[in-house]
Amino acid sequence: MSDITPSFLSTQIIPVILCGGSGTRLWPLSRAGFPKQFLVLSGDGSNQSLFQQAIGRIHTVAGKDIALGKTHVVTNEAHRFLALDQLREIKNKYPELSAALLLEPVGRNTAPALALAALYAHDQAHSIHAEVANDPILVVTPADQTVTNPTAFTKALAASIEIAQSGVIAILGITPMASETGYGYIKVQDGPNSNHTYTVERFVEKPNETTAKQYLAEGGYFWNGGMFVLKASVWLAALKEFRPDIFAATQSAWQAKVIDAAGDVEFIRPDAELFKAIPSESIDYAVIEKCPGSHYPIKMVELDAGWNDLGAWDAVWQVGKQDEQGNVTSGDALVSNSKNSLIHASSRLVSAVGVENLIIVETADAVLVADRKNSQEVKNIVGQLEAQKREEKNLHRKVSRPWGWYDSVDEGERFKVKRIQVKPGASLSLQMHHHRAEHWIVVKGTAEITNGDQVLLLSENQSTYIPQGQIHRLANPGKTPLEIIEVQSGSYLGEDDIVRFEDTYGRS
């Protein structure tokens, strides 16, 4: 249950979902404007994004002895409405879910992100339950992972919470399945103790292939999946001791925060200028790797639950539902005489004939073809896109917005055609364009249109014209989605030709 007053019979945990990152190795599906944590990638049958799965996994541990507090989502300011929409999508499944979005103006890695969550948890605990000595336990997980055995995950998480109650830091260590060079490793002392719990001896960097094979042969080494369970006070004290510069800078940005809300979800913004001054560092480098042998004891709980961080397309193939020939398909895909390949179709028919060990990913504006064993190198293509300042690095053809979405279906010299959908009750900003005019044609629903001094109510098959330089707004007053076709014409059609005068979403 959510926001339960802690008692001597229950432990309060705070889910902390670290929701930054851009997932460049999963381009063209994952992009800066819609990164991998918000994608549905794993074949667990839930049809949920990785972000939604991360929330759901922590919710499974709640019970009579464990009370679930408000979920803390640390994410980029630009992704706040993606996170908000996906939280609302799973509200029916988790009716007790309440959340706060801690919005980073710039990325500063995971140590400051966890510090924000710990400071918020500390403030909440002392303001809401001032009469109780309440020190909530933070359950910290990245938002872009998946597991195939949720029961095993819940068991390991419950054991980690039990460890953290005594003030010890718990880390979940992944049972290694191969000599993986893409992960850091946890070296444990002799064990295990009860509940597959070990004392951590040390942390080791990502190894080369020879060293990784040696770790696997020796035993006692586990993958570090970046999942921690610890008290808020323990993290803040350890950060203050090991990296006082990060602690002080994050605390300053936090103290100057601004809070607003969207319905029952809080938006919490640390001061942007002060946050930019925070040193960028990971949880591991800042604190965790310094804990073994210190007065901040750290234990590891083994996690053997089919974990995968989906760090490249080959990993998506591994966790996908494979047919008899080892192919994983998604969308409108046809395959003939092909083996061990992933074919992902987003917007049209994709067919593969006589191929093996390939990655084929199609979106409306880009197609990726790669050898599975080289799928990590997709980041090189993203680097080229960035160097050429191409928009395909950042945005899909179909772009999510807080009010709905738009899809740029066609464009040429001096014109662009968009399909636009507006959610019931939502509206675009009151705006003006210097360089273009627009024609709007309603194809579904009812549109309320501000066009200069006029306010029009248009239904299907009706249209209006917005002259260049005219102040205007599009809104959906109805209870069903509104769809229009927008035809732009002018000398410049870039998305930055917008002057906002009023905006429901704080963008003016």
Residues 344 and 329: their CA atoms lie apart, in Å, by 6
The CA-atom distances, in angstroms, between 93 and each of 157, 434, 466 are: 21, 46, 43
Confidence category of residue 4, pLDDT binned at 50, 70, 90 = very low
Q: Is the pTM of this model over 0.85?
A: yes
The CATH superfamily label for domain 398-502 reads: Jelly Rolls (2.60.120.10)
Q: How confident is the model at residue 45 (pLDDT cuts 50, 70, 90)?
A: low
Report pLDDT for 2.
Answer: 37
| Tens of pLDDT, residues 154-206 | 999 999 999 999 999 999 999 999 898 889 999 999 777 777 799 999 999 99
Helix (H, G, I), strand (E, B) or coil at 237: helix
> How confident is the model over 459-474, as a mean pLDDT?
97
At residue 126, the pLDDT reads: 72
Q: Report domain extents, the chain.
A: 11-172+223-280, 322-384, 398-502
The confidence band for 124, taking pLDDT boundaries of 50, 70 and 90, is confident
What is the residue type of 371? D
Q: What is the mean pLDDT of residues 334-351?
A: 97
Q: Which distant-in-sequence residues (6+ apart) come within 8 Å of 11 by Cβ?
A: 65, 66, 67, 137, 161, 165
CATH fold group of domain 11-172+223-280: Spore Coat Polysaccharide Biosynthesis Protein SpsA; Chain A (3.90.550)
* Cα gap 212→229, rounded to integer Å: 26
Residue spans of alpha helices (H) in 278-366: 283-286, 313-319
Which of 299, 300, 317, 297 is closest to 308 using CA atoms? 317
pLDDT, average across residues 461-489? 97
Task: Please enumerate, as own/partner, the contacts of 326-332 that have beta carbons within 8 Å and a separation of 24 or more.
Answer: 328/43, 331/362
